[in-house]
Structure 1
Amino acid sequence: MFGKKKTKPQIDKDQLELIENAQKRIKQKKRLYVHFVIFLIGAIFLIVANTVLGIGKNITPLGKEWFLYAILIWLFLFIYHLFNVFITHKFMGKAWEKEQLEKLVSKQQDRINKLKEGLLKEETLIAKSEAFKDTNIKNSNLTIIVAAAENNAIGKGNKLIWHLSDDLKRFKVLTSGHHIIMGRKTFESFPKPLPNRIHIVITRQKNYEVPTGVIVVNNLQDAIDAAKSDSQPFIIGGGEIYKQALTFASKIELTRVHHSFEADTFFPEIDNTIWKETANTFHTKDAEHDYEFSFITYERK
């Protein structure tokens, strides 16, 4: 019964100005076209009037027929009209072009500013996400466990350089019931997976085959994420994994073997400005231990 009120489309000021200029331009061209047609007809009429009808036949200023001067004067007026349309009153004057350029630059600047704002927001979100991820990793009670010589040697040819039974017992006691994170070579140095522990192997190899129950990941962060249910996951090697883990670990359980060895794998230097020693137990060499060693615990300051 009641019809909906039709809303008229809104035309902004710039569009309205463009339409008005276009209409003005059409009128200018129409007038010029009419002038041209009248000029042609008028010129023909003047020629016929003089040569056929004999009008003003005796009028010959400077020895030329009068209609030639009339046509030349009219031609001058037409050229003036033509100049006025295409040169003097152009469709878009310089002032209008300048104004439109300024508006265009302003709009583009607004778009650039909006893009910058979007990028800043995205960067902030990424930074917060990374910070949150790093915080979670650092708060995961990640523990490095390692046996290293006085020169930080930890292995050669993917094998241990020494055999210390108390060190192996300590390793078993500390890591049992926990996730142990290691590189591929460290994992391959075991005859079989260690009992009562969940193994997480870091490797870039695709389709790396492991026994049932062993977890394979591509990087350290994924390994830590896979062990997030564990209150104290352990990093057990090798050298490159230790180096990466130092950034995230909250504790180091170090067996310091008081001797120097030739090796091809080394543990990074412990920075005393970052780590503080909280426990140190010394063991002398005996029948079962060829070298003196110490169990040292470091915690992040």
Structure 2
Amino acid sequence: MFGKKKPTPQIDKDQLELIENAQKRIKQKKRLYIHFVVFLIGAVFLIIANTVLGIGKDVTLFGKEWFLFAILIWLFFFLYHVFNVFITHKFMGKAWEKAQLEKLVAKQQTRIDKLKAGFVKEETLIAQSEVYNESQTKTKKNKLTIIVAAAENDAIGLGNKLIWHLSDDLKRFKNLTSGHHIIMGRKTFESFPKPLPNRIHVVITRQQNYKAPEGVIVVSSLEDAIDASKNDSQPFIIGGGEIYRQALPFANKIELTRVHHNFEADTYFPKIDTSVWKETSNTFHKKDEEHDYEFSFISYERK
């Protein structure tokens, strides 16, 4: 009908950009071709002008005819033109810009992923902190006590065995821990010939399906061990070195037997920070027929 206009064909934006880019490249190559033709004609003209017509025949540079230098300079500009068309515009044109943009976007995405990973890690730490706070609340109800015998250099064991034998220390350990939960790592538990009588053993291990004698509680973390001992008014941490290190922030009391000698060891007790712990009692014992070393029974409580 007369009143209707013919529909205008729509060209995709990307297609239009490709067409414009192609047209630009064609113009660049045409100009390069014209430059090449002009260069050839100009070079021939300079040669004829000098050799046939004698123009500037007596002019030389460094012992060479001047037109040679003119041709070389012109050749330099022509080669620069070639480089500009086939290198600069090809590798730094729209496609190059797009590739660089994609690289920048990829780098930004990598940074975003790292930030997300950081947020996840931070959330995990917050969650762990909340678990620790809950554990700390539980320990306030119960008097979580660390009991340990350590040398002057904090040595506590070698090859999963005690380094010394002190009769009074063993008696003290028995008297304090009897009737209570004793929390320990797997290696410490396995150092016993059999479970100690009149105590509930709580063993921490990462091993799946760890088989323990009947009555022994097996858990996978210190927090679970504390939770398993929540009905005990004074559960005891009895080792080894890593369990002591984990338990120190949660403990309310330390019962230490300080052996006054230095020993070689592969397991050590953490340093006691006197700004956190105060000494409440200290009883010294000399060495005798049953004790090869001098030692002291020392009690600490959290300030």
Q: TM-score, normalised by structure 2?
A: 0.58
- The size of the alignment, in residue pairs, is 189
Which amino acid in 2 is paired with 1:144? I
Distance change in 2, residues 1:129/1:248 (3 Å): closer
Q: Is the 8 A contact 2:165 2:291 kept in 1?
A: yes
Counterpart in 2 of 1:216? 218
Q: Which residue of 1 aligns with 2:192?
A: 190
Alignment of 1:277 with 2:273, yes or no, is no
Instruction: Find the aligned partners of 1:128 and 1:259 in 2 and give their Cα distance.
Output: 41
Runs of 5+ in structure 1 lacking a partner? 1-35, 40-76, 87-118
Query: Cα offset for 1:140?
Result: 2.4
CA RMSD of aligned residues (A): 2.3
Shift of 1:147: 0.1
Q: 1:1-301 alignment to 2 at 5 Å? A: 36=1, 39=2, 78-79=4-5, 131-301=133-303
Deviation at 1:128, TM superposition (A): 5.7
- For residues 204 and 192 of structure 1, the distance between their equivalents in structure 2, rounded to whole angstroms, comes to 21
> Which entry has the higher C-alpha Rg, 1 or 2?
1
CA shift in 2, pair 1:281/1:130, >3 Å: closer
Deviation string 1:70-92 (CA, Å, 9 cap, x unpaired) is: xxxxxxx643x978xx9xxxxxx
Q: Is the 8 A contact 1:138 1:249 kept in 2?
A: no
Which amino acid counterpart does residue 206 of structure 1 have in structure 2?
Answer: Q
Pairwise CA distance, 1:247 = 1.0
Matched residue type, 2:179:
G
Distance in 2, Cα, partners of 1:129 & 1:277: 29
Change (3 A) 1:129 1:288: closer
Q: After superposition, give the CA deviation of every residue in 1:130-161 in whole Å (9 maximum; x if it has no partner).
A: 53343223442100000000000001011111
Identity %: 73
Q: Is the 8 A contact 2:138 2:227 kept in 1?
A: no
Residue identity in the other structure for 2:260:
H
Could you tell me the TM-score, scaled by structure 1's length? 0.59
